[in-house]
Amino acid sequence: MNRRTRSQAQVNGHSQEKHENGNSAGMNEVEHRRKYPLGADDEDSATQATRLMNREEFSLDNDPLDSMHSKDEGAVGFLELPKKDQRAFVLLVMLYFLQGIPMGLATGSVPFLLKQHLSYGQIGVFSLASYPYSMKLLWSPIVDAVWSRRLGRRKSWILPVQLISGLGMIYLGSHAEGMMAAAGAVGGAGIWTFTYWWFFLVFTCATQDIAVDGWALTILSHKHIAYASTAQTVGLTGGHFLSYTVFLAFNSPDFANKWFRSIPSSEGVMTLGGYLTFWGWIYILVTLGLAVLKKEDKTKEREGIMDVYKVMWGILQLRNVQIIIIVHLIAKLGFQANDAATSLKLLDKGFSQEDMALTVLIDFPFELGLGYYVGKWSSEYPPLQLWCWAFVGRLVAAGFAQFVVMIFPAQGVTSWYLLTVILEHVFSTSMNTTMFVAVSAFHAKIADPVIGGTYMTLLAT
């Protein structure tokens, strides 16, 4: 029995089970639709023709079924991708990069700047602002189910939330300094107003992330879908790095006085308000350009809100998904201490913040480069196999990090020790990047494009 016959037999078997188990039938239908997006086996010819001709890549020169069901061609570099996929990849990187700008501020720079105004307990209140990213699964079915046919399934959400994000950043830019000063007043009572605004901004970023994750499943061709995780890694890492490491450096008066000024000043080259305002306008300009220049593929596939919630519940009941959830829950136990405490322990022992910033700066290009190659390798090797290799490497990196902390020189940081810390940090973050890109590529390959935002959010959350 050939592969095609086996697939048809599986589909027929699934059809027979519909009368026995409604929920299982629904999941089988989703699985079949994911593997064969054109519905060639069980749709009538009129429906097939409508769906095919509604796609931008439709052409009478090729057999669409052969192109959709063809085997992967192995690792393909960016320059070897079709022009359509290259443009799609650049667009995804840009959208993820924009998403990383406010997230880098909310989770990194702003808590650091609040130290001069608030206690650690009060800064802990501000950490609530990042919660929408962890809770986005709750409203992801709405993002998948509610949309305008005129704008497209994904642009219906990306355009308004990016516009709202841009306006919110411009408003915060004009009030940020005053809000931070007021946050420490009256025993820190003002921190709640500041937190509410950032909670709203992170909420819009989380909503945009749902829509972009879902769009990544359809904007790239099926055989190059692994590049979706590469775009996410490169974009988010770049945006986060710019808003955290680079921004804090240019916001520091000491850094500015040392490298850019002949006359010292008490302020940095860049302020939080000016940075927010600048990127708020960039958000608006990119949104307008996206609305005018990029057309989304037309589709008539639509799921009701409750239907998507039911499918999500059905996905959670799948045994393999439950196994993945358990693995994700316990996988970090072996290296969580390294991720959370190694840098703090080094600083406690006398490792300077300048040396730590240098370490992160050197590590950044390695993260971007490795993110690209892991996405490329995920088209050649099973993504979970790469994840397992990196998991073992990350455990080794955690042990190596503890060794580096133990051998901290009594006389202070020396050149050889600084190089050792840099090596340890690059090794650890490289394994972390490999695991993230590989598992994201795996999620992209198994997700159903019709409810792609919910599917990707569920697996990632």
Query: What are the phi and psi torsion angles at 227 (to 5°)?
Result: -70, -10
- What would the pLDDT profile of 152-206 be if each residue is shown by its tens digit? 899 999 999 999 999 999 999 999 888 888 887 766 678 888 999 999 999 999 9
pLDDT at residue 205, as a whole number: 95
Report whether pLDDT(451) > 50. Answer: yes
pLDDT at 459 over 50: yes
Angle at 233 between CA 279 and CA 333, to 5 degrees: 120
Residues 6+ away with beta carbon under 8 Å from 20: none
| Better-predicted residue by pLDDT, 68 or 419 | 419
Kindly tell me the burial class for residue 63, based on how many C-beta atoms sit within 10 Å of its own C-beta (0-12, 13-18, 19 or more): exposed
Is the model's pLDDT at 36 over the cut of 50? no
Note the pLDDT of residue 4: 41
Average pLDDT over residues 142-157: 91
pLDDT of amino acid 381: 87
Q: Over range 396-417, report the average pLDDT.
A: 91
pLDDT per position as a tens digit, 46-65: 554 554 445 554 454 444 44
Q: What is the model's pLDDT at position 170?
A: 96
- 105-122: pLDDT as tens digits: 998 889 888 877 777 778
Using left for φ > 0, alpha for ψ between -120 and 50, and beta otherwise, residue 74 falls in: left
pLDDT in tens, 300-334: 777 789 988 998 898 889 898 889 889 888 888 88
Minimum mean pLDDT range among 39-43, 180-184, 414-418: 39-43
Mean pLDDT of all residues in the chain? 81
Picking from 349, 450, 350, 442, the residue whose alpha carbon sits closest to that of residue 29 is 450
Helices and strands (H and E) in the chain: how many: 22, 0
- The secondary structure of 138-157 as a DSSP string is GTHHHHHH--BTTTBTTHHH
Q: Answer yes or no: is pLDDT of 89 > 90.
A: yes
pLDDT value at position 304?
Answer: 84
The answer to which of 36-40, 244-248, 264-268, 439-443 has the lowest mean pLDDT is 36-40
In the block, tokens 């609305």 appear at 291
243 exposure class (CB count in 10 Å sphere: 0-12, 13-18, 19+)? buried
* Between 289 and 366, residue with greater pLDDT: 289
Mean pLDDT for the stretch of residues 8-12: 42
* Average pLDDT estimate for 15-35: 44
What confidence score (pLDDT) does residue 73 get?
Answer: 52
pTM of the model: 0.77
- Report how far residue 50's alpha carbon sits from residue 300's, in angstroms, rounded to the nearest whole number: 9
Nearest to 57 by CA among 212, 221, 216: 221
Q: Which tokens is 403 given?
A: 């060794």
* DSSP-derived secondary structure letter, 296: P
Average pLDDT value for residue range 406-434:
91
Q: How confident is the model at residue 427 (pLDDT cuts 50, 70, 90)?
A: very high
Instruction: Identify whether the C-beta of residue 425 lies closer than 8 Å to the C-beta of residue 366.
Output: no
Residue-level pLDDT at 129? 92
> For 80-93, what is the mean pLDDT?
93
C-alpha 430/C-alpha 411 separation (Å) is 30
> What would the pLDDT profile of 265-284 be if each residue is shown by its tens digit?
878 888 999 999 999 999 99
